[in-house]
Amino acid sequence: MEEQNVQNKTGRREYIGLVTSDKMDKTIVVSVTTKKLHGLYKKYVTSIKKVKAHDENNEAHVGDRVRVVEVRPISKEKCWKLAEIVEKAK
């Protein structure tokens, strides 16, 4: 569950994460996990970032691995959009 932050030619950020909630209409909550090496203690620290993403057709469900792309603000907390479902939940 490594963070995959990629800059496109358009300058938009992308994340690949796990859907943790799909209870809202046309909105999903995606958890993006990152692992960074601590400078002093040389241990890996895991941090989780939760982003709300726009899912127009309510396609994604809990447990799916998805790719989200940064877009203009859609609402107060939504500035990400579902690009594709990488892997469906089992």
**Burial 18-32, CB ≥16 within 10 A → b, else e:** bbeebeeeebbbbeb
For a pLDDT cut of 70, what percent of the chain falls above it? Answer: 90
Paired sense of beta strands 44-54 and 78-87, if any? parallel
Its pTM stands at 0.84
Q: What is residue 29's predicted lDDT score, i.e. its pLDDT?
A: 98
Alpha carbon distance 66, 49 (integer Å): 14
Average pLDDT, the chain: 92
Tens digits of per-residue pLDDT, 9-52? 677 899 999 999 999 999 999 999 999 999 999 999 999 999 99
